[in-house]
Amino acid sequence: MWKKIKQLIFIVLVLNVLFIIWGRFFNPPITITQIGGLFEYGKLQRDYISYDEMGNNVKKAVIASEDQKFFIHNGFDYKAIEKAMKHNEKGKKVRGGSTISQQTAKNIFLWQGRSWLRKGLEAMYTFIIEKVWSKDIILERYLNSIEMGRGVFGVEAASQYYFGKPSKDLNTSEAAWIATVLPNPKKYDPKNPSSYLRKKHNWIMRQMKNVSLK
């Protein structure tokens, strides 16, 4: 019995290693979150594109919105995590402290949720992809897989869905609107923005001036 369990664990580990190495060269065929969106909304709108095809505006907008230390941290922003924990201890609306690397690990390899098991696996995958993949690859995988609307995944599909153009042609304001829907793309809609979204959009545009793609 134990021998079979050990063999199963070994097979799972080997498959994970191979999938991580494979992911350095290819985008995921499909993710658990995308499957969930397909069942929930009856569609899977996505279009994987290369890092160079994405254009700089949308990269800067998402980094400005989600993780301004992306190119300098090792996968974890400990100050942001500490700040989020202190905020959550006050019993207010739960705030995350996840980096783009952590979100990529979650989106590619895992499922949505806040269990300790999922967070532990997320930390493990984050550590590994930071070692095996480059920052550009991590950002490309993130921008191709992130949920950006109801059944809409990735910046290219979001750009076509909201603005009818390729992501490389987005101007600063349009790119900022794409980033504004994060982290609640099922609720927020750039086509019908609330006052809160308008404020966030303006804040992202200001922050984009400080983002360097290095």
CA–CA gap between residue 11 and residue 134 (Å, rounded): 26
pLDDT per position in the chain (214 positions), as tens?
Answer: 776 776 777 777 778 888 888 889 999 999 999 999 899 998 999 999 999 999 999 999 999 999 999 999 988 877 766 676 665 555 555 455 789 999 999 999 988 877 888 888 999 999 999 999 999 999 999 999 999 988 999 999 999 999 999 999 999 999 999 999 987 888 888 888 889 999 999 999 999 999 988 7
What is the C-alpha separation between 62 and 14, in angstroms, rounded?
33
Q: Which domains does the chain have, with CATH numbers?
A: 2-208 (1.10.3810.10)
Entry pTM? 0.88
* Contact between 180 and 65 (Cβ < 8 Å): yes
